[in-house]
Structure formats: C-alpha cells, structure tokens
Structure 1
Amino acid sequence: MPGVTEWQLARGGGQAALLVTGPPAAARPSSGPGRDDARAAGRAAKAGDAAVLGTDLTVLPALMRQLDETALSTVARVLDRTRLFRDGGRPRTDEILETLAVAPRHAWIVRRWLRTLTAENRLHLDAATGRHHSLAVPDRRGHARALRELDGACAGLGYPASMTRFFRAAAERLPLLLQDRTSLQEVLFPDGETGTAQGNYRDSVPSRWANHAAAALIAGESRRRTGPAPLRVLEAGAGVGGTTGAVLEALGDTPVDYLFTDVSPFFLRAARDVFGDRPGLRHALFDIQADPLEQGLEPGSQDVVLAANVLHNARHAGRCLAALRELMAPGGLLVLVESCREHYQALTSMYLLMSPEPGEQEWFTDLRAGQDRVFLTAGEWARQLDAAGFDPLPVLPHEGHPLAAAGQRVIAGRVRSHGARPDPGRVRAALADRLPPAPPLPRIHAVDGIIRPTDPTGALC
C-alpha cells in the first residue's frame, strides 16, 4: 500500500477499521509538551487542588482500602456460598462459573475475582492443575461490620449516602447480577434518578479534583484563541454531566459551541433538564464505537474533545483516538478523564456495566485483548495518544500527589502537526484495486504508530 510501513485491522463495535502508519518522520517533533502546555497543566493542577481545599487527602488511601476490603469480603462470601471450597474443595474456574450460573458475558468478572483474591493471599491456585483452594472467608459478623463501616468511608471520600446504598444493594444482588436476572442500571438509576451516579462521577474527592483540572485545561483553550468564533467543544459520552458542569462553570461567558453527546437518549434528556438554558449548548447522540463521520460530525470541526470516564469502553482504544483526532482542528486539545487503576469495589458493582453486550462476539481487541481487564494505565494512555498523533501533556495529578494513588487521572494531548502519515485516500484506492468489491472496505485511519496487543506478562504478541 502506498506509503504504508505497518498496519493493523482494528475490530469492534460492529465495524472494522484499518490503522496505517508510514515511515518515521525524519524530524519528528518531540512528543513532550511545549512550554505553554506545561504551564497549562500546572494551572490545571492548581485548579484541582482548589476544588478539594479543606479535604484531608492523607486519609484517602486508608478509606479506599476500606472499600477494597469490603469488596474482597463480599466476593469471598459469594464464592463460599457455592460450597465448592468447603471440606478441602479444589474447584476449577469453569466449575465455579457453572455453579454460580454466571452469564457468559460476565465470566471475566469472576475470573478477575479469583486473580485478585489470589494476589491478596485470600485464595491459592495450583498452577499445575488450575484448581483453586484455601479460600479465606470472613465470618458473617465481620462482613456485616464491614458493610456498616461503608458509611464512614464513603463520606470521607465525598460520596453521598446514596452511593453507600448503591454499593450495599449491588453486593446483596451480586449473584443475580452475574446471572443477568437483574441489571445494575436498576440499582444505579432507581426510578430514573441520576443522583447516585453523579455522586460517583461528580462529587467524590478524586472525581472533583479531576473534573476541575480538566475544566481548567479547556478554559485555557479559550484564552489561546484570538478570533471571535466560539470555542468548539465535543464532549463524548457525557453521561450524567459530572464533568460538564465544572467545564461550563470554568468557561463562564466564553462563547462556545458545546456539543453534549452520549450513546443513550436517557442522558440527553437529563442534561436538558440541568444545562438546557446554557447558550451555545447542543445535544446529540454519539457512539464512540462507530465512525464519527457517519454520525454527522465533520473532519476538523472541533477545537476541544472531552471524554470523561468513557474511552475505556472503546473496543479498540487506538482506533477510537484516531477517529477523534480526525474531528479535531490543527493544534486541537483532547482531554480524557480516566481511572488508571483497578478498585476492588468495582469488582462488585461498576464492572457489571462494562461487560460485553449479550451476544457480542468480540470485546476488547487492542492491547487489553484476552486480559480480562478494562482500564489502561496512565503510561498506556500516553503511548496510545502519541501513536494516534497527539503530543501528550503531563498526566494529572502527578505521581507524587496524594490523589495519584486514587487512580482518577486527567490525560490530555494536543494534535500533532507533521507529515509522515500515509494518505488514507490513496490507501483506499490501492485496496479497491486489489480486493473484490464486497464486503465494503473498512474505514482507514492514518496514525503515527501501531501499538500491538500484549499478553498478561507485558510481552508483545
């Protein structure tokens, strides 16, 4: 193919895309941030700190560990109720899944339980036989005490009381949730209310810090502009608007063309109730798994793209980033808010929202393929941004910050401008000459690099 030195077919979301890259540019700019972006990151970090002023951040790790311990206790008791581990039982993973009657799409969560308990020395695995044994199970009184103590831990982390009730309700329904006999959406959005989800994505201390830091980065883009045209912002997967409110507040009276999008009409209706009278705010359906151009968006039409707690759902992160880059104007800013570490509490709650859809043939097809994991690390996101054609900004909060251990990070990148990419039109024409007319050719994205999947040990496949 003309100008192509490496390629990867990225599947997922019901469509395929071809990622192509060319030879390295002779004088490729450094992928580090420029001086202005480094200063902007510093101002954003100060905005994050200001948002949690008065909070004792030093106690947060202990509170988060308390949530983790409650989740570990819940998982161990659910597994114990199978009776497979009693009297010296040594079940295999498939036996555990069968006894729990786990829906196939949620099997990865139980596999994650087993690995986590093993890593925490609450369970042992005989690697030679694949059998698990010696499950450490807290007694009923200890587990009940841990559930009662959730109130204090959640309050210390900034969660509303509804979030504690959500964690407890999910734990109580866990076997039914795994069997798809009830849904987590019913627990998270009781009677269509969004307050519990807002408590997670807006009010908790880590989210509050990240949202205000992200908002400061976006507000800074408005100050970079010299013309009268509004700042064009696309928020992908805006959900309950947990980040939206902070961004709109930071933008103030700045003229904007702000497109609030989500894959669900439910969230668009809720957003109209909350933000509907904001000048320049529009609403639209948008699916990050599908081609943005086929959803009515134009190349080069956005100055800023914001995606808070959504891009980890992309079946292929590199493909999604490449598609978003095509929407962005030269020098545009991409801002992600992402959880970059696993919290055990998610193993008994939010992970159930991240399983593949019933009947979905493929799940993650990028570097997470076959690993039973959802979240990328901060370093992995930075490498994905670089490969997709962004110059990464410093990840916030920085590693030495008290909130870095919470895992909620702001990961941003500026569109890189240099010419070492293949021309997608020429590649498409060359493929059309070589391939039969059906099926249709995949969407072609030119990128700066290809990141291959790795196995669980980190080795390249």
Structure 2
Amino acid sequence: MNEALTDAVHTGLPGVADWQLVRAAGGHTLLVAGPPAAPGASPGPGPEDTRAARRAAHEGDAAVRDTDPATLPALLRQLDETALLTMARVLDRTRLFRAGGRATDADVLGALAVAPRHAWIVRRWLRTLTAEGRLHQDPATGRHHGLLVPDRRDHARALRELDTACRGLGYPASMTRFFRAAAERLPLLLQDRTSLQEVLFPDGETGTAQGNYRDSVPSRWANHAAAALIADEAGRRTGPAPVRVLEAGAGVGGTTGTVLEALGDTPVDYLFTDVSPFFLRAGRDLFGGRPGVRHALFDLQTDPLAQGFAAGSHDVVLAANVLHNARHAGRCLAALRELLAPDGLLVLVESCQEHYQALTSMYLLMSPAPDEPDWFTDERAGQDRVFLGAGEWTRQLDAAGFDPVPVLPPEGHPLAAAGQRVIAGRVRTHARRPDPGRVRAALAARLPPATALPRIHAVDAVIRTLTPTGASR
C-alpha cells in the first residue's frame, strides 16, 4: 500500500507543489503544500499580538517578583551538577571504565541491561559527560574511556544539597524527594523493572508533578504569561458567546488553574483534555466546580476529527508541556490548526533547552512505548532528543500555517536561559493551501478500491526531515 500511495502522490495532485508522507503505525498522514509564498508575503505578528506579548511578559514578571532572577542560573547548574554525578556513578558500576577500559555505546547498554526504549537516554548521558569533559571518546573507534568518577561523599553531599536548589527554584519538598528517589532507582528504571510514574505519582497523588509544572519559578512565569495571552484573546472577542478554549494534554492541570484564574468571570467553554483517564479524574477533582469547564479524552497523536472534535470549533488551543511528545510536530500543529476558528490562537508552553536533571528523571516518561516501532519522525528523527528549540518551534508554526507571536520570555530576559518558553501563533488566513478534499478525491481515484487513504492536512510549507545519514525523507 505504501508504494502505491507514494506512486499516486508522485504523479501530481491538484494544487500541490510539495508534500510529505508521515508514516505511523496508527495510520499515515499526507502533508500537502501549495506553491511557496513570495518573500515577505507573511507579515508576521500583528501589532495587537505584539502588544499582547508585551503585556503577557509583564504578567510573567509580576508572578515571580519575589524571586531574584540572578540566582537562578547557579541553582539550575546545581541541579545539573547533581545529575552529572549521578550519571557517572551509575556508569562506574558497570566496571567498563576501570583500569583504562574502553567501551562502546552497545557495551554500556548491555552492561546496564537497559530496556531498548530507554537506550537513547544512556546515549545522551555519554554525549553529555563527554561534552562536560568527564568522559572521553576516541573519534576513530567511537569507544568511550577516562570516566571521571565522583567520590561517593561528593555525590551524597550533592544529593543532600538538592533541597537548597529546589527551594530556590520554587519546587516543593516533594520534588527534592522525587529527584533523589529517581537517582537511587536509576538502574531499575532504565531496565523497566520499576516505573517513574510510581515515583512521581505515589499512591496516585499529583502534588509532586504540580510542583514541577505549576510552582517552579520558570513554570510560574510561563503559566502566567500564557494565561495573560489567553485572557487578552478573550477580551478582544466581542459578543455574548463564551470564549472556546481547548487545553490539549492538560495533565495535572499545572497551567489550567492559572488560565482559569486569569479569565475570571469571562464566560468560557473550557475543554480540559488528556490522553489519560487518570488525569481527567484529577482534572475533574480540581476544576469540576468551575462553570463552563468540560472534560474529554484526546490523543494528540491521532486525528482529532476522528475523535469527535469539530473543525473550527475553538477560539484558543492551549498545549502546555505536552507537544514535545508529538511524534511529528508539523503533523500535530496542522491538526490543531484545523480545530481553531479563523484567526484563532494557539498557545504552547514548552521546554526549549535540555537540563541534565531531566536525563536522570523526567526523560524516562518520554521514551517510546515498548511496542512503538517508531519514535520521532520529524526533524528530531535519529537524534536521541525530545525538545525542540524556540527557533525550531517558530519555524514549525510558520510552516503549519500560523503567524508566530513573539516568543516569551524574550532572548536576554533573565528567565530565557531556564528554557521554559511560551510560543504562540495565530491562524494564518491569507495563505493559499491545497484543498484536502480535492487531494483526497484525486488519491482515491488513483488507488485500488477499499485502499485506506491517509489523513490529509494542508500546510503552508513542508519541513524536510533528515535521516541520521543526512538524506532527505
């Protein structure tokens, strides 16, 4: 079927100048774009969005006014330092690097008995320690050697001092306990002999996760800035109808509460969604009493229309700390754009910079499922990474058909280096995209009867994906 579909697309489709077939086990997606726009055709953010971004940044600053931003880089580095020591201690237990030993990636993965889905994390450990000068790699053989192993007392001291760093960053005490517990169980976690969910959600409690996504200084700033953008959007819409907000992947509601508080008495139809019934139950417990709040299951990886969501049915889509999980960012953004009304607003909160602490904790939640044949199929393919940078997100928004709003906090802001950014875009209404209906009809006419057709999303541009060898996909 794949060859027949590819052949059918290659013969040319109505209005299609460029295309990309995104393959997935649950069904393929065809992204189609028209002729490229003339240089300068996209005007970028309008003056209203630029002013709204400035107001949102002010709200973010107000939310962390009790914090000295000058102290944050050192506190973040303290977390990173603890993680580096933890990685080195776990690698030393393999005994591969003692007495001048040299080991390949495969040697390390085998010695640690790492579950295949977590192998990418250990490969990042090796690259990170090398970049930090705590491990060496022979460029000719690829073998690693010269591991700098921390003294046991230094590692224990760093774990004890985690509490100071976490407090300074606004984390609750439970977050310190989480980081320590994850470090202690790392070998078992990497082997899938225990799960990080058990550590993060002990007895089904969500307080630790809320501390990460709601209470930390970077999250507090980003949540208040995102909430201000949404409240501003509600204010610019006239008429008695409630503002229609879809929160995709709401999780523990770390951003939801701040948004609802910013909306105040504004009439709202707020759809709190997640792929997990566990989080929906938690959302109902937290926000079930708020007028206008509804709850529904929603899987970002599959077609929203096939899940019962209507095209053009929302004024705002919010996705906080979830869209990095999309296996193909361009496909997911195109699908979310179709859920938005003309001139609708998409607001993302995303980590745009890797912190080493995540490599010994939260990253274990981001590995592919054991039965998932592919992982990321966009520009992250083959790179052992989860997060896109702010510039990459802006490029993805533009290609999917959004006019990007200025990224917050802006470059040079004391919190920009923390990596938690608010990335928003307004649905672009002036683009000339192919008609998905015509494209689908043309494909159906060329393929054998009863052939399963792919999802079709019209986009403004296709971002080419490079394989590890550099070839375009």
TM norm. shorter chain > 0.5: yes
Q: Which residue of structure 1 aligns with residue 230 of structure 2?
A: 218
Q: Which residue of structure 2 aligns with residue 131 of structure 1?
A: 143
Distance between the aligned counterparts of 1:118 and 1:455, measured in 2?
24
Which secondary structure state, in structure 2, belongs to the residue aligned with residue 445 of structure 1? strand
Q: Choose which of 350, 354, 367 in structure 2 pairs with 1:355.
A: 367
Distance between the aligned counterparts of 1:223 and 1:96, measured in 2?
56
The code of the aligned residue for 1:163 comes to: M
Distance between the aligned counterparts of 1:322 and 1:213, measured in 2?
24
Q: CA deviation at 1:435?
A: 1.3
The code of the aligned residue for 1:269 comes to: R
Q: Which residue of structure 2 aligns with residue 448 of structure 1?
A: 460
> Is 1:253 the equivalent of 2:265?
yes
Q: Which residue of structure 2 aligns with residue 278 of structure 1?
A: 290
Are residues 392 and 400 of structure 1, via their aligned partners in 2, closer, same or farther at CA, if it must alter by over 3 Å? same
Q: Which residue of structure 2 aligns with residue 56 of structure 1?
A: 68
Q: Which moved more, 1:330-339 or 1:446-455?
A: 446-455
Which secondary structure state, in structure 1, belongs to the residue aligned with residue 193 of structure 2? coil
Which secondary structure state, in structure 2, belongs to the residue aligned with residue 53 of structure 1? coil
Distance between the aligned counterparts of 2:64 and 2:172, measured in 1?
16
Query: Is the contact made by 1:236 and 1:286 (CA closer than 8 Å) also made in structure 2?
Result: yes
Query: Is the contact made by 1:12 and 1:364 (CA closer than 8 Å) also made in structure 2?
Result: no
Distance between the aligned counterparts of 1:341 and 1:454, measured in 2?
21
Q: Which residue of structure 2 aligns with residue 21 of structure 1?
A: 33
Q: Choose which of 220, 233, 238 in structure 2 pairs with 1:208.
A: 220
> Is 1:376 the equivalent of 2:388?
yes
User: CA RMSD of the aligned region, Å?
Assistant: 1.4
What is the TM-score with the length of structure 2 in the denominator? 0.96
> Is 1:311 the equivalent of 2:323?
yes
Matches within 5 A, 1:4-83: 4-12=16-24, 14-25=26-37, 29-83=41-95
Same amino acid, percent of matched pairs: 81
Are residues 13 and 342 of structure 1, via their aligned partners in 2, closer, same or farther at CA, if it must alter by over 3 Å? farther
Q: Which residue of structure 2 aligns with residue 331 of structure 1?
A: 343
Q: Which residue of structure 2 aligns with residue 409 of structure 1?
A: 421
Matches within 5 A, 1:226-305: 226-305=238-317
**CA deviations over 1:204-254 (Å, ceiling 9, x no partner):** 000000000000000001111111100000000000000000000000000
**CA deviations over 1:339-385 (Å, ceiling 9, x no partner):** 00000000000000000001110000000000000000000000000
The code of the aligned residue for 1:401 comes to: H
Distance between the aligned counterparts of 1:25 and 1:309, measured in 2?
31
Are residues 367 and 31 of structure 1, via their aligned partners in 2, closer, same or farther at CA, if it must alter by over 3 Å? farther
Q: Which residue of structure 1 aligns with residue 116 of structure 2?
A: 104
Distance between the aligned counterparts of 2:129 and 2:422, measured in 1?
29
How many residues get paired?
461
Query: Is the contact made by 1:12 and 1:316 (CA closer than 8 Å) also made in structure 2?
Result: no
Q: Choose which of 185, 199, 202 in structure 2 pairs with 1:190.
A: 202
Q: CA deviation at 1:11?
A: 2.5
Query: Is the contact made by 2:137 and 2:145 (CA closer than 8 Å) also made in structure 1?
Result: yes
Distance between the aligned counterparts of 2:43 and 2:128, measured in 1?
35
Distance between the aligned counterparts of 1:137 and 1:434, measured in 2?
62
Q: Which moved more, 1:6-15 or 1:85-94?
A: 6-15
Unpaired runs of 5+ residues, structure 2, are 1-12
Are residues 419 and 289 of structure 1, via their aligned partners in 2, closer, same or farther at CA, if it must alter by over 3 Å? same
Q: Choose which of 168, 189, 204 in structure 1 pairs with 2:180.
A: 168
Distance between the aligned counterparts of 1:373 and 1:104, measured in 2?
15
Distance between the aligned counterparts of 1:177 and 1:418, measured in 2?
49
Query: Is the contact made by 1:231 and 1:256 (CA closer than 8 Å) also made in structure 2?
Result: yes
Distance between the aligned counterparts of 2:471 and 2:225, measured in 1?
34
Distance between the aligned counterparts of 2:81 and 2:148, measured in 1?
13
Are residues 28 and 145 of structure 1, via their aligned partners in 2, closer, same or farther at CA, if it must alter by over 3 Å? same
Are residues 272 and 385 of structure 1, via their aligned partners in 2, closer, same or farther at CA, if it must alter by over 3 Å? same
Q: Which moved more, 1:228-237 or 1:435-444?
A: 435-444
**CA deviations over 1:270-312 (Å, ceiling 9, x no partner):** 1111111100000000000010001110000000000000000
Q: CA deviation at 1:31?
A: 4.4
Query: Is the contact made by 1:11 and 1:316 (CA closer than 8 Å) also made in structure 2?
Result: no
Distance between the aligned counterparts of 1:396 and 1:458, measured in 2?
32
Distance between the aligned counterparts of 2:256 and 2:322, measured in 1?
13
Q: Which residue of structure 2 aligns with residue 427 of structure 1?
A: 439
**CA deviations over 1:103-137 (Å, ceiling 9, x no partner):** 00000000010010111111011121111000001
Q: Which residue of structure 2 aligns with residue 149 of structure 1?
A: 161
